[in-house]
Amino acid sequence: MLPDRSRGIGVDHVGATPIAEPEATAEVSGDHELAVATRHGGGGGRHRHLSGRCTYRRTSLALVVLCTLAVTIGCSSANPDSSSGTGGSNLTTITVALEWTPNTNHSGLFLARDNGWYREAGLNVRIVEPGDSSSLQLLAAGRADVAVSVAEELVPARAEGLPVRSVAAIIEHNTSSLVSLKDAGIERPRDLEGRTYGGWGGQLEEAILHRLIECDGGDPTKLRFVDVGEADYRIGLERGQYDVVWVYDAWDGIRLQQIDKIEMNQISFSDHLDCIPDWYTPLLASSDEMTSKRSSDLRTFLKVTRRGYQAAMDDPSAAAEAVMKAAPDLNRGLVEASAAYLSTRYSESPSAWGLQSEDTWDNFSTFLVDAGLVEGEFDPATAWTNEFLPEP
């Protein structure tokens, strides 16, 4: 996922596209920002960051951020309204960079914004799409205060010295799976021997799949890998171009099985946590500058955001409606099914939404280091904190 975001740096807002508030709340805020929905594809397109994968092309995120920062300095004076901090409206602006286009991962953010809860707490929360930059690049370059990201991007970024860390888990556990057509007969990891996996060509993909096959007594060298990028998985599977793909259960998993009505076999990662690590995908990250200089703002933001995700858990229909307002081109049936699915998975305890586990971070970081995806020693404690979350 990360390399797809580091192909280039957009000049206008450093590639960040604001997402409009619904008309009623836009009137209150004075923000009449237009959303760009061309990439939603009517809900049929894939959302890269929903796949839970990172391709690790070894592009230096720190180097890309330096380029981003240079562009930021060059254009900041031309876009005074895009900066964070306290504005003339007596509201403190916090800019949140999504990791991709609006989807059900973000429902709590949209609910909190659209219901006016951020404003009640003194915050003007701007939600932007990252454009050609990754959300972490925008965060590290000071163009965002909070970023939706994933652990497989954040750990290497922190290891490279970027001043970013996770401050809340959006979903408590990884909800990824490997799926295949029912008649392919792939029911367990060792059944992948002699099969073809269609993915992004990432090192994390290879490391996870190899570990799964090994744990099940199979030979991982017999699994073939092909790069398919943003392909329509249904077409590729049905044409026999590959046998198995990695999906995010709450999006492509629902789309394939509930919307497209395809009979699938599923190997859920959550059923194999004795073999592979759990990890946070997605999460909310912030910068060291934000946590040190604007900690009160961050605490307020996370308190209201927890309220938003609690509302998403309590009322999936409202959550789906908030996402549809942000991205009208999405498939409503998919969004509604996804919101219902996630309502029981954002957190086992709504009052504890956002809390992260030390074991989860330690185990995942160790896996990345052992697999050679993070070089040298790495202290997982530097990558995350629960300090700014409210007490459950």
Closest listed residue to residue 292, CA positions, set 381, 164, 170? 164
Tokens representing 133?
A: 């930059």
Nearest Cα to 280, choosing from 291, 296, 269?
A: 269
CA gap 290, 299 in Å, rounded: 10
Nearest 5°: phi and psi at 280? -90, 115
Average the pLDDT over 225-241 and give the result.
91
**Tens of pLDDT, residues 321-335:** 999 999 999 999 999
C-beta pairs of 374-382 under 8 Å, 24+ apart in sequence: 374/155, 374/156, 374/159, 375/159, 376/159, 378/155, 378/158, 378/159, 380/155, 382/158, 382/165
The DSSP 8-state label assigned to residue 34 in this structure reads P
Q: What percent of the chain has pLDDT over 90?
A: 73
Q: How far is CA 348 from the centre of its chain?
A: 19
150 burial level (CB within 10 Å; 0-12, 13-18, 19+): buried
Segment holding 63, helix H or strand E: helix 61-75
Q: What angle do CA 36, 39, 44 make, to 5 degrees?
A: 135
Least confident of 29-33, 184-188, 225-229, 322-326: 29-33
Q: What does the alpha-carbon distance between residue 378 and residue 160 come to, in Å, rounded to a whole number? A: 10
Identify the DSSP state of 88.
T
- Quick one: average pLDDT of 201-214? 96
Q: Where are the domains of the chain?
A: 2-172+280-383, 176-272
- Residue 283, pLDDT score: 98
How far is 166 from 186, CA to CA, in rounded Å?
Answer: 35
Confidence (pLDDT) at 371: 95
Query: Which pLDDT does position 130 carry in this prediction?
Result: 87
What pLDDT, on a 0 to 100 scale, did the predictor assign at position 146? 98
Q: How confident is the model at residue 92 (pLDDT cuts 50, 70, 90)?
A: very high
Neighbours of 196 (CB within 10 A): 15
pLDDT band at 32 (very low <50, low <70, confident <90, very high): very low
CA–CA separation, 199 and 185 (whole Å): 19
Overall residue count recorded for the chain in this entry: 392
- Report which DSSP code applies to 257: I
> pLDDT: is 43 or 222 the higher one?
222
Distances (CA, A) of 298 to 37, 63, 137: 29, 27, 19
The answer to whether the 2-172+280-383 and 176-272 domains have the same CATH topology is yes
- Residue corresponding to tokens 């290891």: 159
pTM metric for this prediction = 0.83
Homologous superfamily assigned to 176-272: Periplasmic binding protein-like II (3.40.190.10)
- CATH architecture type of domain 2-172+280-383: 3-Layer(aba) Sandwich (3.40)
| pLDDT of 61 over the 80 cut | no
pLDDT of residue 16: 65
How far apart, in Å, do the first and last CA atoms of the chain sit? 32
pLDDT at 230: 78
Tens-digit pLDDT profile for residues 256-267: 999 999 999 999
Mean pLDDT of 299-326: 98
- In this prediction, residue 20 has a pLDDT band, given cuts at 50, 70 and 90, of low
DSSP 8-state code for residue 99: S
> What are φ and ψ of residue 284, in 5° steps?
-110, 125
Q: pLDDT tens, 337-361?
A: 999 999 999 999 999 999 999 999 9
What is the C-alpha separation between 269 and 278, in angstroms, rounded? 8
Question: Following DSSP, what letter does each residue of 292-304 receive, concatenated?
Answer: HHSHHHHHHHHHH
